Structure 1
Amino acid sequence: MQKLQGLAKTWYESLNSILFSWDEWQGKLLSAFPFEQNYGQSLEDMIRRKSKFSEPLEVYYYEKLALLNRCDIEGKRAVECIIHGLSDKTMKSSANALRCTQPDQLLQFLMSNKDPSQSLDRSNSKGQYASTSESLTNKSSFSRTSKVNNNNSHYELFCFNCKEKGHPYLKCPKPLIQCAKCRRVGHKTENCAINLGNNNKTDNVQKTMCILTSSPNSKFLKDCIINDIPVKSFVDLGSEVTLLTQSLAATLNLKYNSPPLPLRGFGNDIVHSSGGVDVELSVDGVRGRVRCQVVDDSFLDLPLLIGQSFTEQPHVIVYKNALELKFLNDNYEFEFPRLDFDDNKPVTIIVPFDVDIFGPALVKAHVDTVTNGDIL
């Protein structure tokens, strides 16, 4: 009685007398601390108990037998319950073929067919497992995890949850990390490879880039007019969209008439515009109506970046050489140098195939005589 603790000790100290026989003590303890075992719960615990991976068979056998005794199941029915809990299908089939009538007979078979690597390590007298007699009376004397002799193991277990060796992820002591998208263990949803794959998709992403220029005399710098307001601009022949800054859009009091778009820029980064606006743009006297995407001022060095939404319009001609960039209308008449022709020496120009010419164009041609000069 000296080992009583908590409520039991309080009950013991409240007794008027302690001069009782052992039978009387048992009666008083049972009346003071009644305990009723729920048979349904005991039966559910017994059915749920199955042999585990790398668990010695004798541990499973004695724990299962203790649960069967709690349920008052014995004889052939106990044998069938023990066999039903075996995880090894081959051993389960062999045990059924024996037709044992008592659990002791089944134990002899299990001990003779167990894996040597599942033998208990008995070198430590204070091991994890208690004796057989103790296991029948106290289930808690057995450890939940089996101590396995790894001398004969051919591989080392690896946990995909904590990335450590020595145990599978089902027995990991750390909180389980599982992705909600691919349902795999060991990474979170934001780090899932499926997300990384989706980030590489470029569907419906317009291509543009933030360009900074340090040369004030660059041929790509243009003075243009937007809605009758003069503006400094930069021409980017590779950009699919025309961009203007939010400050310029506010100055011109422009209203958004299209939703924001994702724009892929320098470094393959994606930014989103604030929306689209329609403006009347004039560059070098060439006018056109252009849909512009409005972006933050930090993305542009100048208020306006002219892209293909203007340069690729049907009436716009882009003339560019190493020194200048100029925009022309499609009805522009080129100024050709005047040449003095020598009527006595006509030059025959031969074109290898029929060509339909609509305005200025480059055509492959050759002459039948050696001639120096310009051919118009």
Structure 2
Amino acid sequence: MKPAENLVILKIWGEVLPEFDPVKGDISINQWIEKIEEYGEVYDWDDVAIKHYALSKLCGVAKSWRDSLPARSSRTWLEWCELLREDFPCEKSELSLRLDAQKYKRRMNQDIVEYFYEKLSRCNKAKMSDAETIEWIVDGLDNVKFRDYLGPLRRYNKPCELLLDIKSANSYVGHQKERSVGRFHSGTTVKKTSVKCFKCNQEGHIANRCTNKVDDKSKNITCFKCNGKGHYARDCSKVSNNQNVVTSSTSAAGNSSVLHIGSNTHSKYFKDAVINGSPTKCYVDLGSSCVAIRSDIVKEMGLTYFETDLDPLIGYGQGIVKPIGMLTVDLEIDGVVAKVDAHVVPEQSQLVPVIVGHPFTEQPHVRIISTCDKLQVSTGDTDLPTVENRSAKCKISTGESLVIPSNFLGHVTVCSTVRNETLCVEGGIRETGHFVPRCIIETNEEGKSVLPVLNLTSETLKLNQGDLITRGEVCEMVDMKTQEKKEVNDEPVTYEEINTDLSEDESQIVLDLLNENKQLVARKLSVPVMGITITTDWVAALQRADDEILAVKAKLEEGDTDTRKKFTLYKGRVYRTSKGWWRLYVPQDIRHELVIEAHNSLMHLGIDKTVAKLKESYYFPKMRDFVSKYVNRCLNCLYYKVPGGKRPGFLHPLDKGSEPFQCVHIDHLGPFVTSRNRNKYVIGLIDGFKDNPLTQEIKALNDSLCGEDDRENVEGLLTKNKDKLKAQYDKKRKEAPKYQPHDLVLVRSEAPSTGDSRKLVPKYKGPYEVVKVLDNDRYLIQDIEGEQQSARFYKGIVAVDRLKLVPKDQMPE
């Protein structure tokens, strides 16, 4: 190979190989090593070559680190990799990766595509699901207009499907900003012009001071911008009231200008549409006489159109757009489908993919209902509600003045607006604190009836005549023969299902009564898991695959006495029994989801409340330990909940010593010129032993001031006072937990006051790493290496009552 060719190849390799600088953090050491080894395999480098090219790409502190090492030519590439991984670790916890992805926001003037892929890479590192990734990408845009434009996010299955709509939304949001800012706040520089007179059209003076003779005809000229007299609109210096309504945007080619409407259009007109089976976004314009589709959307959907010479489309402010072609499509909005002829327009002519006008909205089977916040498209087959179809509910009020005592249940006389009717009253607690059970009442010819009422308040309830108690709905006669038949339970109830403490004779009476009405006995037990109702049939199937439950089931079938005291086998399902209380034995596969559902449904209450909720219907071994580990690792609870009870950490008073000057707060001046009494120091101090300020001229700093007897008396008083203060302080404190170096902790923080409520602001920040254990329940903490929370690396001393441990234990299998 020639020397010139060698130089070219070395130059190419130098441009291709990535640089590694741990301060920038754009690439981790593991990623950098993988890249280097990948190029080494492609170009067939030996160990010497890969060391040479790779080590030359170390930059910044990594280069300084390499230069500081002792020269060893015998060190292999694998040894270099071990040194690099040891000195530049890049391991991050799952918690920090997720927080890093969630906190990343779009920077000002950042390109939308750059932000999308940067956010996507952070979410992928945190191993988020597609739905979470889509949600956090839109959240990071930090602008509600993006969410209004995109609509419901559940229609996106993959994050990549979101990019095209985000780019379109970015153009829309950017146009809205330009419109709201106005021409005087635009990025262009406004040139200063001299004063011009509107009467004589000469510069240098204003119209009020004009001395030139002006033709009388000019006095009749009216400006259509400011409605002023004596000048034309092109010479008007005032801003038009509708200046921000119509803006002009010129294409990149510079040969076309399109006018955009800039009024505050409500987002209800932006709808999801389907064109020939392909979903897209559209804008319903009830005043448009055509349907317009952008050319890029037509190409993306793979549609073909006829390029014909069509008349130009004239829009608001006489804006003109020349259509490219014409095509016929099936357009669907809100489930209503219509075949329309659509114009294909250039990409830069409109912001939204499709504008829907009269060819769709004026079809006979399309009905559009517009309210203040909603635009509904439906078919004309459905009848609109009429006055006759009013609600059948009627008011039920008291027939006379009543006084209902506290916790009293009785029947009261009521009046209704309907007569000789049967009314159905829905049960519930009303505003005044009384409870009305669900019941059916009949009114007489005067509209009167009786209604059961329970006063749940601790005070006497007073109701005047005519006060509203509840509402009822008129019952209608229904032909049961035409109704759909549903299966009912026809299995007899067994003695084991009663779970009663009654005697055998008494329980037999109950059993006979239940069997007479066995159609009312529920046989299915539903288990809510992540919004899905799991029946006991599915739980039985999971129990058959659980080794732990199979062992219990085998002992029950063998007739083991101890096992039968605790468990019951009923229809292939294992239950935990205790004092007539049956609880389903939950298999291992759904325990974690069950705990999540219970904890979230209780609004993230503590361990005791979550365990109590689960124990109402379910059982599995070591339930409290399982729930404790999950609740202690819940991110919402870690960051938003402050531990209750006594704060950790006792008082640690300073040791004042047994003689003066063992603990002093001192400041001295000197030496000065020796005085007549040979004093050359002035010392001012507060002696921790004597607890009084002193100012004294002294000869030296080691003079004795107190005798032996005085020292013993003072020491006793200090000890007594110290014990009293410590006992008083420790009453409201508990023993502090002990943390070890390398533990991860959260630190209690106070959000800055901005005038808004701080109730929903996270109470803790972090995580941080414990570096050193100090005296008196204090710890030296710092940012996790490579995961600092702010621009500057944090390192400080924090008391134990402001710390919360991030658990390390894993959820049990």
Whichever structure has more strand as a proportion of its residues is 2
> What TM-score do you get using the length of structure 1 for normalisation?
0.33
Q: Which has the larger radius of gyration?
A: 1
> What TM-score do you get using the length of structure 2 for normalisation?
0.16
